Structure 1
């Protein structure tokens, strides 16, 4: 599992954070580490949005064949749904950056314990510790 975490962080351009033995949780170095990850992620998503806009402008053609038009509309619809999900993710990234500014980042919103560096590297927008998230998912399954 440690190799998977290292690969994920490296794939995104960051080495996993190596905390010192008596290092305080969410100190300024850790906050800087996560700020860089969040900003790089946001920048990547914003570039995708720009690419989509240009792609849709360049590829928009009024095909005479109804099947070709339907295919193009279907492709555009899928792309727009993807961008909408990314728009929501950008909002979560912005919220995480606000929590960093307020020095609340990295702490569970439900119980207040440390979320953990490795969990945050895997999911930088996490707001719940693993225990609270697990309970949340169990409740969600029970509701239907």
Structure 2
């Protein structure tokens, strides 16, 4: 079986970890330079994807065409509204991605903002913009449900 080519981090030129290598590292290596480079790359890819999607949306909205049939016009307007709602969610995600990149720069990435405990690699792989450990997130959601915060 052919060996997959490793990606390299543009800032250090060191090969980036794979998910398997990342998860196989000992707990004592949590948020070392290699892991931070892995998550920086993942977040930069997400940032680029969001920015590209915004550009595509802008182009799609500029290409409005006159459609005489009211039903077709309503369908097009609904598609545009859905696309704009999606971009609004992505705009909010972009802000979180950029905040996560800043946390990597300050070496605070991967640590719960409430407890200071590690967020955990598996949680960060699933949600790279997470700022709370799973336990802290669950407590926050219970409080919001109880008190409507």
Q: Into which bin does the TM-score normalised by the smaller protein fall?
A: 0.7 to 0.9
| TM-score, normalisation: structure 1 | 0.84
Structure 1 gaps, min length 5: 1-13
Q: Please name the residue that 2:18 is paired with.
A: 15
Equivalent positions of 1:116-127 (< 5 A) are 116-127=120-131
Residue by residue, what CA displacement relative to the aligned partner does 1:73-120 show, whole Å, maximum 9, x if unpaired? Answer: 111011000001001000000000000000100000001000011110
Structure 2 gaps, min length 5: 1-16
Q: Distance in 1 between matches of 2:105 and 2:132?
A: 18
The structure whose residues are more often helix, as a share, is 1
Q: Distance in 2 between matches of 1:37 and 1:95?
A: 14
| Aligned-pair Cα RMSD in Å | 1.6
| TM-score, normalisation: structure 2 | 0.81
Q: Please name the residue that 1:66 is paired with.
A: 70
Equivalent positions of 1:67-82 (< 5 A) are 67-82=71-86
Q: Please name the residue that 1:131 is paired with.
A: 135
Q: Please name the residue that 2:35 is paired with.
A: 30
- What number of residue pairs does the alignment pair up? 130
Structure 1 residue 23, shift from structure 2 partner: 3.9
Q: Distance in 2 between matches of 1:69 and 1:120?
A: 42
Structure number with greater CO (CA < 8 Å, separation at least 6) is 1
